[in-house]
Amino acid sequence: MKNVLIVEDSSTMRSLIVSTVEIIEDVSVTETASGFEALKILPQKKFDLIMTDINMPDINGLELAKFVKTNVDYKDIPLIIISTEGSEKDRERGMQLGADEYVIKPFKPEQLQKLIMKYLKR
């Protein structure tokens, strides 16, 4: 069973992402609306993939990405940023911080699934 963590503050968007991920075989989804919660959840199990939004109220997705990618315990977990089209700079920074992919909303469910499977297979 592969564990996927989804961090997204919009509840509707979150359930859209969750439903896209959930139908992949052998995947268990943990979801949260807040970056702070994500920090608390991370040590609880071994995650195989993290998907996060950028614009969130407590800490933003870039800050979360940096935390993950500079932490000995988490740095090898693939991280996908899913964000609504916005600042090009934010996208560059995300990739520089070590995010593995940058997906722009609106996303196509099939494409997102393909991408997720690519990272889960590793």
Partner 1 sequence: MGNDSDENSNDMAMEEFTSEAEEIIEKLNSELLTLSSEKGDAHPDTLNGIFRSAHTLKGLAGMFGLKSLTEVSHNMENLLDALRLGKVSLSDGILDALFDSVEVITEIVKGNEEALQSGGRIKSLLSNLESAMKKDGGAKRNSPIDSMNIDPAILSVLTEYEEHRLLDGVKAGKNIFLIHAAFSFDDFDTGLSEINASVRDFGEVISTLPSAGGGSDGGIEFDLLYSTEKSGDVVEKNIDKAGVILTLVSGDGLGKEDVPDSTAKKDDTQLESTSVKGVSRTVRVDISKMDLLMNIVGELLIAKNSIGQITEELKAVSGHNLIAKSLDRTNRELGRKLGELQDGMMEIRMVSLKKIFDRLAMTVRKVARASHKKVDLVIEGAETKLDKLIVEEIGDPLMHIIRNAVDHGIEPAELRKEAGKSEAGTIKLKAYQQGNNVLMEVEDDGAGIDKDKILRKARQKGLVSEDRALSDSEVLDLVFTPGFSTSTEISEISGRGVGMDVVKNNLTRLSGHIDIESEKGKGTTNKITLPITLAIIQALIVETASKTYAIPLNSVQESLLVKRSEIETVEKKQVIQNRNATLPLVSLQDIFDLPKGDDSAKELYVVVAAIAQHRFGMVVDRLVGEQDIVIKPIGDVFKGVKGVAGATDLGNNKTVLVLDVASIVEEMTGA
Looking at beta carbons only, is 46 or 121 nearer to partner 1?
46
Q: Does 73 bind partner 1 (CB under 8 A)?
A: yes
* Inter-residue contact 34 to 60 (CB < 8 Å): no
Looking at beta carbons only, is 13 or 27 nearer to partner 1?
13
Exactly one of 28, 45, 46, 71 binds partner 1 (CB under 8 A); that residue is 71
| Separation of alpha carbons 90 and 48, rounded Å | 24
Looking at beta carbons only, is 27 or 59 nearer to partner 1?
59
Q: Is 89 helix (H, G, I), strand (E, B) or coil?
A: helix
At closest approach, how far in Å is the CB of 49 from partner 1? 20
Write the burial class of residue 26 (CB in 10 Å: 0-12 exposed, 13-18 middle, 19+ buried): exposed
At closest approach, how far in Å is the CB of 32 from partner 1? 9
